[in-house]
Every structure is written in structure tokens, then in C-alpha cells.
Amino acid sequence: MPGGAQNMNEECSTNSSNVPDVGAATAKIVELFERGLAEREDLKKWIEELSSKANPTIRDRLCLALYRHQLSFREPPLPSGDPLTGATLWEYWASHPTEYRKYCRLETEIQSYLEPPETRLSRAKSIRQGMIDLIQQDSVTFLAYYPVIEKMFGKPETKAGPGAPVTRRLPAVRAVQMQIDNDWNLKRVTKELCDCGNDHSQYCEQRMRQSIISLKKLLHKCKVEPPRP
């Protein structure tokens, strides 16, 4: 089998006199990527629904950006002529670690505006555990693939990309929505959403402004920003 998966198999087997049965191992990983391919139908449906909304909210726009991004993972630029299958998809990402990291960073950044950090981290952990359970079904597979899984799924992104601290990201989404819906200024939005527990200061407003700017940058980058009033 050509591509990245084969290269990794060679690396894994050099330290061992027993050559692992990589055919069986690959089949399990490929099965996962085939599931990923099947998810494209749902993603496309959701993208279409969100794209046709007359008045999408900021949250809708972020979801649209997320689903488009997740679809792009499932349809990478394969070498011309290669059909899109679970195997070619796995090979593409296994042999493009830099692009994979970049993909994960942006996915995490978008998700950080849609759900609290605890939810995101616990999901990342359960995905990793799912991968490990899958390959643990036999020890040969486990030995051959554990390093690969660790590399790809080992550390959930904790930084959540550029921008404001994760705790201020959900409020930023509400803030921009309030600005649009109610035409509220920064002072009013801060009063409504700042959780400092005191009388709000310049500092509160500044933090709110920073979070809003980060969010707007992301919306712009993902080409889902709301039209200017």
C-alpha cells in the first residue's frame, strides 16, 4: 500500500523482530476514516441548512464554519487520480502532520466559541480513548499503532488557538449577537455579560472589546462574518 501508512509501518517494525500484521491494523484505522467519509452526508446537509438561513445568528455562522472545516478534513487535496476512500484519507493525514496540526488548531478555535472548555476537552479525551480501544483489540495492532495514535490524538489542544482566554469566548458570541440584535454599545454589552462581580470598569470593557475582536477575526478568517450594518 503506498503513502504514509506504509512508511509508518516500516518505522514501527524496525525495532521488533516480529513483523506486526499491519494489514489487520490498517483495516481498523481505515474503518474509522470510512466512518468519517460517511459523515459527509450529514455535514453537507447541515451546511446547506445553515447557508440558506435568512438571518443566521453568530452561533449559526460559527457552526457553518465548523462544518465546512470538518468537511474539508474529509475531502483533502489528494494526489490527482486517487479516489477518496478510507485508506487514501488516512494515508493523506498520516503523511501530512503539519497540515493535520493546523487543521486541529482551527477546529479547536472554532469549537471554543461554541462550547465550554470542559466539554471540548472531555470529548477530545473520549475520541482518543475510542482510538485506543479500537487498536487494543489485539496486541500486535496496539504495538504497531499506539505511537501513531499518541501522535495524532494524544494531546488535546488546550490553548484553543489565538485570541481571548477560553472562558471569555462564549460571552463574546453573546456580546456580538447583542450588538447586532439590540444595537447595544460596548458599555451596555459589558454590563450585561461581564462576570467580574463588581461595578464594571474600563478594564472590563477592554477585555470585552478584545474578546469581540478575536471572535470577529475568526469569523472573517472563516468567511462567515455578518454583513456590516
- In this chain, which stretch among 20-28, 88-96, 125-133, 204-212 interacts with Zn ion, using CB under 5 A? 204-212
- The CB-of-39 to Zn ion minimum distance in angstroms stands at 41
Nearest to 69 by CA among 158, 161, 188: 161
Report d(CA 224, CA 126) in Å as an integer: 30
Least Cα distance to 75 among 84, 87, 86 occurs for 84
* Residue from the set 155, 196, 206, 217 that interacts with Zn ion by CB under 5 A: 196
- Of 14 and 198, the one with the shorter C-beta distance to Zn ion is 198
Q: What is the rounded CA–CA span in Å between residue 189 and residue 200? A: 11
Stretch that binds Zn ion, among 4-12, 20-28, 37-45, 186-194 (CB under 5 A): 186-194
Q: Which is nearer to Zn ion, 52 or 202 (CB)?
A: 202
Residues 60-79 that bind Zn ion (CB under 5 A): none
CB of 222 to Zn ion, least distance (A): 29
Q: Least separation, in Å, of the C-beta of 189 and Zn ion? A: 11
Dist CA 183 CA 204 (whole Å): 19
Q: How far apart are CA 106 and CA 112, in angstroms?
A: 10
Asked if 213 is part of the footprint of Zn ion (rule: CB under 5 A), the reply reads: no
| Residue with the three cell numbers 469581540 | 212
Residues forming contacts to Zn ion in the complex (CB under 5 A) are 194, 196, 200, 204
